[in-house]
Amino acid sequence: MHTPGTYFVTSRTWESRKLFTKPPVCEIFMETLLHYRDQGSYLLHGFVLMPDHIHMILTPGSGVALERAVQFIKGGSARRICQQLGFRLPVWQRGFTDHRIRDNQDYRNHLMYIAENPVKRGLVNSARDYPWSSASGNYVMDEPQGLKPLSKTEHSGTVETVPLRSLRS
């Protein structure tokens, strides 16, 4: 069981297949992701759906474990993809990795990592051009809850976001 908080979560497709390259598959995933958010299962702060993996920043809802929130997303999307598109193979690899967000700087660093992932992979020239990402501006994201600011200067906009180097895309 995870400690309550906000998490950066990554999960890969089964055998790292590039499953999320066609709009119908991506749309089903997005509908599922937003459906469970709208039901209150979690707050969604940022995401990017890459061809072979997903990165998300989320805060599980009251009484919802992180594992359960991820199960809603992965299980719900897999079930719908298989039913609606006739897929016969697994969609997701088992499990996921997570990192508990420590403070506002950590949060901003992970948001930047999410935004830049499609650019670094050569899928688009600008993060705003990738439709399956919170960085596109096409989706309303939830504000983070209860993160400690790094310093007083953060509120004045003088703290710079440092790109993550320790995470793999």
Q: Is the pLDDT of residue 162 over 70?
A: no
Taking the C-alpha atoms of residue 160 and residue 107, their distance in angstroms, rounded to an integer, is 12
Q: Which CATH class is domain 7-156?
A: alpha beta
Taking the C-alpha atoms of residue 72 and residue 81, their distance in angstroms, rounded to an integer, is 14
Mean per-residue pLDDT for 138-149?
84
Predicted local confidence at residue 166, as pLDDT:
33
Taking the C-alpha atoms of residue 38 and residue 26, their distance in angstroms, rounded to an integer, is 18
- In the structure, what pLDDT confidence band is assigned to residue 146 with cuts at 50, 70 and 90? confident
Domains of the chain, residue spans: 7-156
pLDDT, tens digit (0-9, with 9 covering 90-100), for 2-48: 678 999 999 999 999 999 999 999 999 999 999 999 999 999 999 99
